[in-house]
Structure 1
Amino acid sequence: MPRASIMIRILFALCLLAATFNHVRAVLQHGLLWDYGYGNKIALTSKIYWDVLTILDPLAAILLFGKPRAGIWLTVAIIVSDVIHNTYYAAMNDQWLEPFYLAQIGFLVVVLGLAPIAARPFPSLANDV
């Protein structure tokens, strides 16, 4: 397996584990279905989505090494959906320059740019799903 793929997957996993830490911390401090400070402006589905990331983020990190192609696809799905989801709240609250949002945009750019490179050494999807 090429070194670049491993390094990229390590980077993705570290970012996903940092996100996991943030979600676990939020659940421990505020409980499940926390509103992340948005109060009654937040939909129940958003609260559920953020809580589900507490499970999906570490799952993707594990899959990056156990089932690399599945882990890469899950990482892409997580960050794309997270940025789409959180863009709504960033727009609603004029949070375009908040560190959490800029970090997610940065991770999105990195993932979309590097995922094809990370996936190269896995020629057959059938062997990795």
Structure 2
Amino acid sequence: MFFTKLNRKTRIFLILQSTAMLIGTMAHLTWVIKNGFLSVNYHAPVFAKFFWDGLTFVDPIAAILLVIKPKIGIWMTFIIITVDVFHNFILCFRNAPDSNYFSYWITGNWMLMCQIFFLLFVLVTFKSNIKEVKIKSLES
């Protein structure tokens, strides 16, 4: 398996990213089981409902590809989390607080904060992950 040929650091990064994508999957799946697809409980535009419910299927695909086809998985994870953070950031900031309530807003949007940290992790590891995958694919 190609994954086992990658250096230890890259394998750890990809496993961590895969785990995070599976955590996202569980969050979306739990919501869908509890509320149904395109739930009115989202209190969001229809596009947002489609996007979030779609992640129930897309996130686990990225998680699997990070191990089975790392190059595709790395790119897919990068695209998903970038779009997800951008999308959620826009929706969360439509109710942006004034400076007196900013700390309450941050704690109320803790999931977005986690996504931002995950995006930063993906960005920081992206170049080294892609480089390692390219090197090992040339050796194969």
The TM-score, its normalising length taken from structure 2, stands at 0.81
Q: Output aligned runs, 1:1-129, within 5 Å.
A: 1-35=6-40, 37=42, 39=43, 42-94=44-96, 97=106, 98-123=109-134
Distance in 2 separating the partners of 1:105 and 1:123: 27
Contact 1:60–1:75 (CA<8 Å) still a contact in 2?
yes
Q: Over residues 78-111 of structure 1, what are the superposed CA-to-partner deviations in whole Å (9 max), with x where a residue is unaligned?
A: 0000011001111012375121110011011110
Secondary structure of the structure 1 residue equivalent to 2:37: coil
Contact 1:65–1:71 (CA<8 Å) still a contact in 2?
yes
Question: For residue 103 of structure 1, what is the amino acid of its counterpart?
Answer: C
Percent of residue pairs identical = 33
Question: Once superposed, which parts of structure 1, at least 4 consecutive aligned residues long, lie more than 4 Å away?
Answer: none
Going by fraction, where is helix more abundant, 1 or 2?
2
CA separation of 1:4/1:35 partners in 2, compared to 1, >3 Å: closer, same or farther? farther
TM-fit CA distance, 1:35: 4.6
RMSD: 1.8
Greater Rg, structure 1 or structure 2?
A: 2
Q: For this pair of structures, how many residues does the alignment match?
A: 123
Q: Over residues 16-72 of structure 1, what are the superposed CA-to-partner deviations in whole Å (9 max), with x where a residue is unaligned?
A: 0000000000000000012554x2xx2211100101100110000000011100000
TM-fit CA distance, 1:12: 0.1
Provide structure 2 residue ranges, at least 5 long, that are not aligned to the other structure.
Answer: 1-5, 98-104
Provide structure 1 residue ranges, at least 5 long, that are not aligned to the other structure.
Answer: none
Distance in 1 separating the partners of 2:40 and 2:117: 24
